[in-house]
Structure 1
C-alpha cells in the first residue's frame, strides 16, 4: 500500500479532488508519525496496533566481506494485527 493508493481511496470515497486527497493522505501519515513519536504507539480498532520498540546496540557481520560491524542502538516500529483483521484475511 502506498500514499498514492490511500489518496485514490480517499478521492473515490469523498468525491474530492486529487490534490485534496493527496493532502489528506499526507496529513494522515504525518499524524500517525507524530503519534508514534510522542506516545510510542498507535492503535486502529479492528485493524491493529503499531508500537515503537527500542533496539540494543549489537555487533553484526558485513555479508560481503564477513568482517564485524557495530550497529548502533535505535528504534523500530512493530505491527500487531487485530483478531478482526486476522479473521478477514
Structure 2
C-alpha cells in the first residue's frame, strides 16, 4: 500500500480532487508518525496496533565480505493485527 493508493481511495470515497486527497493522505501519514514519535504507539480499532520498540546495539556480518560490522542501537516499529483483521483475512 502506498500514499498514492490511500489518496485514490480517499478521492473516490469523498469525491474530492486529487490534490485534496493527496494532501489528506500526507496529513494522515504525518499524524500517525507524529503519534508514534510522541506516544510510542498508535492503535486503529478493528485494524491493529503499531508500537515502537528499541533495538540493542549488536555485531553483524557483512554478507559480501564476511567482516564483522557494528550495528548501532535504534528503534523499529512493530505491528500487531487485531482479531477482527485476522478474522477478515
Q: Classify the TM-score, shorter chain.
A: over 0.9
When normalised by structure 1's length, the TM-score is 1.00
**Residue-by-residue CA offset, 1:29-55 (whole Å, 9 max, x unaligned):** 000000000000000000000000000
When normalised by structure 2's length, the TM-score is 1.00
Matched residue, 2:35: 35
Is structure 2 residue 9 aligned with structure 1 residue 13? Answer: no
Matched residue, 2:49: 49
Determine the C-alpha separation between the residues in 1 that align with 2:69 and 2:21: 44
In structure 1, runs of 5+ residues without a counterpart are: none
In structure 2, runs of 5+ residues without a counterpart are: none
Runs of 4+ that moved beyond 2 A: none
Determine the C-alpha separation between the residues in 2 that align with 1:67 and 1:2: 36
Q: How many residues align?
A: 89
Question: What is the CA distance between 1:84 and its match in structure 2?
Answer: 0.2
